[in-house]
Amino acid sequence: MFSIGQLSERTGVKIPTIRYYEQMGLIDVPERSEGNQRRYTADGLNRLSFIRHSRDLGFSIEDIKGLLELSQHPEKPCHDAHGIAVQHLKNVQDRIAKLRRLEGELKRVSKCDADSVAECAVIEALADHSLCETNH
């Protein structure tokens, strides 16, 4: 049996976050000690580790609920789990693409050797209406 602090140490998930996951229904409500403190089993530890890994990979709480549900039913086809992962991969690739465009833009904007704000390329670029999609 682990206390919440021990669970936290072993999984790297902070204590308030564990309680938050409990509230969100991601982890089972654990047993309590006589003094009303949470007591976890190895099962609880494994489940929390699963959640931790999933969060590290950027899966949302909702995604993780789905993945956990699936992991409890080993006889089901893995098609759904695969789908969640692939969808998430697409999201990540989208975000990378967007950030790279941003990076290019910021690099361009940051190339500024002016002395005063009056000629600063950064400020100028931000104020520049030619960037606008709409007409004004």
What is the contact surface with its own copies in residues (CB under 8 A)?
9-12, 45-46, 49-50, 52-54, 56-58, 67, 70-71, 73-78, 81-82, 84-86, 88-89, 92-93, 95-96, 99-100, 102-103, 105-107, 109-110, 112, 114-120, 122-123, 125-129, 131-136
**35 versus 73: smaller Cβ distance to its own copies:** 73
Structure tokens at 77: 């086809």
First CA to last CA distance, the chain? 66
Helix (H), strand (E) at residue 38: strand 38-39
Contact criterion met (CB below 8 Å) for 29 and 38:
no
From 53, 60, 82, select the one nearest 70 (Cα to Cα).
82
107 binds, options its own copies, DNA, none, Cβ within 5 to 8 A by partner type: its own copies
36 binds, options its own copies, DNA, none, Cβ within 5 to 8 A by partner type: DNA
